[in-house]
Amino acid sequence: MLFDVNGTLTDTSAIGELWGRPELGDRVLAHAVSTAMVDALLGVGGRSFRDHLRAALDVVIGEAGLDPEGVERALAVAASLPARSGAGEALAMLRDAGIRLIALTNSGAIGGQRTLEQCGLAGFFDLVLGVDAVNTFKPHPDVYAYARSRLGEQRAPVAMVATHPWDLAGAAHCGVRTAWVRHGARVWPAVFPRPDVQADSLWDLARELLAHSW
C-alpha cells in the first residue's frame, strides 16, 4: 500500500503557526504542488519540491502581508512536520494485518525518509520512494509506474492513500486503487473518479481498508 507523506501523514499547520496562522500551512503546500505540477506538465526537471516550497512560502506570506523574515525557518519546519493525530496507530493496524507499507512522496527519497524519521513514522515503512528517481512530480504517470516497478508486484493490487484528490486521480489513472483521508471538511472534486474508500481520519481509514480486505 502506497502512502503520500506531505499533508497526508504529516500536519502542515506547523508551517503557518510561525506567524500565528496555522491555516496557511495547507495554502503553502497547495501552492507548492501547483508549481510542481507545471514543471511536470512542461517536462522541466532539476527543481526539487523544496524549491517549490520556498517559492510557495514567498507567495503565500507575501500575499498575507506577513513578515518574510520567518520564511527560512518555515522551510526548515516544513522538512520536519509533526505526524497527523492517530497516524502511528493507523499504520500499526495496517502493518499488523500483514499489509506492506510504502511511502511515495513528492519530496526526494532522502527528504521523505528524514521527514518520516522526524515525526516518528519511519519504522512503519518498508520503502520510502521519492519523485527524484523519475525527475518529475505527482500526479505524472511516471511516478506511479516507478512505484509499481519498485514493488515488483505488477499483477498484484496496489492502493494509494492520500488526502489530496489530485494525487488519487493520478493513481487511479494508472490503475491503482485509491483511499481518501479527508482530514477535515474537504469536498471531492466531481471531475475526478470517486475514491474506492474514504474516511475522515487515518484511524478510520485504516479500519475501512481492513473491512474491505485491503
Given this model, what pLDDT does residue 80 score? 92
Given this model, what pLDDT does residue 154 score? 54
Given this model, what pLDDT does residue 212 score? 83
Beta-strand ranges (E) seen in the chain are 2-3, 102-105, 127-130, 159-162, 177-181, 197-199
Given this model, what pLDDT does residue 155 score? 57
Q: Which amino acid is at 202?
A: L
Please give the CATH topology (third level) of the domain spanning 2-10+81-211: Rossmann fold (3.40.50)
Domain boundaries, the chain: 2-10+81-211, 13-78
Q: Is 136 exposed, middle or buried (0-12, 13-18, 19+ CB in 10 A)?
A: buried
Instruction: Name residues whose C-beta falls within 8 Å of residue 10's C-beta, 6 or more positions apart in sequence.
Output: 81, 82, 83, 84, 115, 119
18-67 pLDDT per residue, tens: 999 999 999 999 999 999 999 999 999 889 999 999 999 999 999 999 99
pLDDT profile of the chain (214 residues), mean per 10: 97 96 96 97 93 97 95 94 97 96 96 96 97 96 95 76 98 97 94 97 96 81
